[in-house]
Chains A and B, each alone.
Chain A
Amino acid sequence: MPITILPPKPARPLNTSHGAHPEDGSSLSSDESDSGGGGVGLDDGDISMNLPPTTTTTKNPAHSSHAHSLVTPGESITSDPQWMRGHGTYIATDTTAITSSVAGTITRTNKLLSVRPLRARYTPEVGDLVVGRIVEVQAKRWRVDVGSTQLAALPLSAINLPGGILRKRTETDELQIRTFFAEGDLVVAEVQQLFGDGGAVLHTRSLRYGKLRNGVFVAVSGVGGGGGVVRSRRQVWTMDVAQGAGQVDVILGVNGYVWISKHVETPAELEAGGATGAGAGAGAGVGITNMEEIVSATMYSSQNDPIEVETMREIARLRGVVMALVENGLRVDEDMVVKGYHEAVEMALASADGPEDVYLGDERGQQLAAALTGL
């Protein structure tokens, strides 16, 4: 079937969710008794008055005592002066009350109260591993799109120059800044510092960072129901994939930009494994002994290594898994992606189209999500 046409999801079941959410008259009724002569109101209660209490918050019964941990803009959180306000809050004029400025959940770090929005653009934090795309080349720096509210900066002084880490930056480097990164190039980098206005400065001074190649890009920010990449233990990992397709690297940028690529053995591995890396390719197999040099050699390459068909297929499958997670509003982290991938391989084996079918759109994505949330 070349095309799938789905009926629209039934209009939001505003009233029909009574089964799951027993009525909670106390939640808003106090606000309802506004002035205006009574007769004011919605006809037919099209938008139900009852807020579903968080019946699912079984982990901590204390939560369910209060109706919800959700706050919306303008909602006062506390007027206790012992708390400090963080992101997503403000102090209303003429009061001491910390008030929420976004719709989201409250987080508390010691005495700092902040509200994490249900969905928002990426906010950089120092140490974040991000995947970004160069959008502008300036005299001494690049401007990088990291899916934030501002472009991040990558100064020329914050990259490893070819030929060793400790080399001094020269005017020649400035003149040929485009040979390192040009517009459109994807980089993996780390947030080094933040400006006062929220702008981020990146650096790629590590062998793990640099230009990306041999793979595909997915942006999961701004897509789906608010899921996406979450900060977790590991943002980068190498995994074995099915079909004897070798190994695949996955980079989950904290900013929601994801890079999935064929794993190319690093020189260290090469030396250990005795140059067995199939397809380590022209770039790496030249017999330079200095590891730094060979790494910095591939750091600015935009030439892909030869990639086997099977590997490409598994990369596409992984990409499908990430998209399916996002479309079904699930977290994207190592755990979910790896689990989802194995589930997808199983599904493909069981399906009529055979293991070569890597499509994970609509129904299959939902099936995948259902299997994952059931785990």
Chain B
Amino acid sequence: MASSQHVLLSPAELAYLHASLSLIPPIRPDGRSPTQFRPLVAETGILPGTNGSARICFADGTEAIVGVKAEVERTALRPGEDTIYLEEGGLEGGDDGEEGSSEDKRKGDASWVEMTVEIPGLRDDDSGTAFLSAMLSEALLADGEFARRLWINRRFHWKLYLDIILISPPLSYPLPLLSLTTHLALLSTRLPRLKSEGDEDPFFDDDWAAAPYLFPRSSETSAHTTTSTTSTSTRPPITLLVMAVANNIIFDPSKEELAVADAALAVSVTSTSSHTTTADADPIRQAQAQEQEEKEGRNLRLLSIRTIDPPSRLTPPGVANAANAAYGASLGASGQQPQQQQQKSTAVVPVMASETEAVEGVWRPPRGGAKRAVLGALVQKVLEGGGVVDEVLDALEGVDLG
């Protein structure tokens, strides 16, 4: 999936970037550590007319706004038809059955969530936009947990509209920004408190202050301390962009860094409250793994992985001095073969070597797929207990949801 816009960088720049990112430890152009994210400014609840909203600006000037709106919708009854993300065990309420509507019988449907992504300058049917939207919604719906939260009763559910807007021109690959903003917006989303009971037509509490959060606060008392390891409740998923250069794993790459990536992955993770064993056999996703990494107070759960085609493959290769017609000796006005002269003057590297072999200091776009071990290490690094994801989730939780 060619999901990243073309970046125009010179071969010399690419070679330099690749060399500095391949060092151990890597030197990133902006001096960040490999796991460090770009600093960002975040706020929530910016739009009173929505159920939840958030805005994030990266220091480089990219900015996104997400608004969540919920509407009550009548659940279509489909006799005998199983929904894809249905948790096993419940009777599918095809007919107006009599079983008690306990919490266990809640079920969700992927169609209850509608997501749109707007990127300025791109059409809404642009493949890049569609890919982003698919990736973000797939993470959200992957385990069926999320849609189940929208269940009101057997006849009604919330229909949740997530509108994701990139305000700035897409300077860097916008996936992490959009994902983090969506996460924050969902964290701040509140649905009116249900006052009706059972399967009657729902009516709700007018008091917005009493409206519960879609994702209940873990510890209301110490909600703003980011270090609380007691936060065990489920959180919306986040999708992180992770890339590998040589053997280095680098989080949140900037546009330039992504341009020299050997491999790039979009990894969606969530933190869950309870251990759920689901034998998920979802055919839609390209790759999927279920891993559980036990950490004090937080279970990280892998939801989906997608490979991002790094723009590095489309970059022009550098020309080694030895093969450079404009390099070295005088290019005679009579149009002599330049290579002969170069051999005279430089005679350092065999002339044809650069076509196939790596010459130090010359950019060569990566060819072929990423190594399995590298991909495995990428995923492992993301799911590391107490690692990056934990701190990102904690930090996001620390954002004032006023």
Contacts and interface: CB of A to CB of B under 8 A. Distances in A.
User: Is there a direct interface between A and B, measured as CB atoms under 8 Å apart in the complex?
Assistant: yes
Interface of A: 1-9, 133, 135, 161-164, 167-168, 170, 172-173, 176, 179-180, 182-186, 211-217, 223, 281-283, 286, 288, 293, 297-307, 309, 312-313, 316-317, 319-320, 323, 327, 357-362
A283 B321 contact: yes
Contact of B363 (A186, A300, A302): A302
A213 B320 CA distance: 13
Interface stretch (B132-140, B145-153, B323-331, B366-374): B323-331
A217 B324 contact: no
Nearest to B34: A2
B111 interface: no
Interface stretch (B40-48, B189-197, B215-223): B40-48
Contact of B8 (A8, A135, A180, A320): A135
A178 to B, nearest CB: 9
Interface secondary structure of A, over-half rule = loop
Given A282-B321, A288-B345, A293-B329, A8 B43 contact: yes
B348 interface: yes
Interface of B: 8-13, 15-17, 19-20, 23, 27-33, 35-43, 55, 57, 59-61, 251, 315-316, 318-321, 324-333, 335, 345-346, 348-349, 359-363, 388, 391-392, 395-396, 398-400
Nearest to A167: B333
B333 A168 contact: yes
Contact of A357 (B13, B31, B319, B359): B31
B400 A2 contact: no
Given A4-B37, A223-B61, A320-B30, A301 B10 contact: no
What are the nearest 3 A-B pairs in CB distance?
Answer: A163-B330, A213-B12, A304-B361
A135 B9 CA distance: 10
A319 B348 contact: no
Given A163-B331, A302-B362, A4 B318 contact: no
Nearest to B6: A184
A44 B37 CA distance: 41
A100 B28 CA distance: 44
Contact of A3 (B16, B31, B391): B391
A4 B12 contact: no
Interface secondary structure of B, over-half rule = loop
Given A5-B396, A184-B316, 12 more contacts: A2-B37, A3-B395, A7-B43, A9-B41, A133-B8, A164-B330, A186-B10, A297-B329, A302-B324, A303-B319, A303-B362, A316-B27
B392 A2 contact: yes
A172 B321 contact: no
A301 B327 contact: yes
A223 B55 CA distance: 20
Given A163-B332, A359-B32, A302 B10 contact: yes
Contacts of A359: 30-33, 36
A44 B42 CA distance: 28
A168 B330 CA distance: 12
Contacts of B61: 223
Contacts of B60: 223
A162 B12 contact: no
Most interface-central of A3, A9, A298 (chain B CB within 10 A):
A3
B30 A319 contact: yes
A62 B23 CA distance: 57
Given A3-B36, A327-B59, A214 B27 contact: no
A286 B346 CA distance: 6
Contact of B31 (A4, A288, A302, A360): A360
Contact of A172 (B35, B324, B331): B331
A368 to B, nearest CB: 12
B198 to A, nearest CB: 42
A304 B31 CA distance: 21
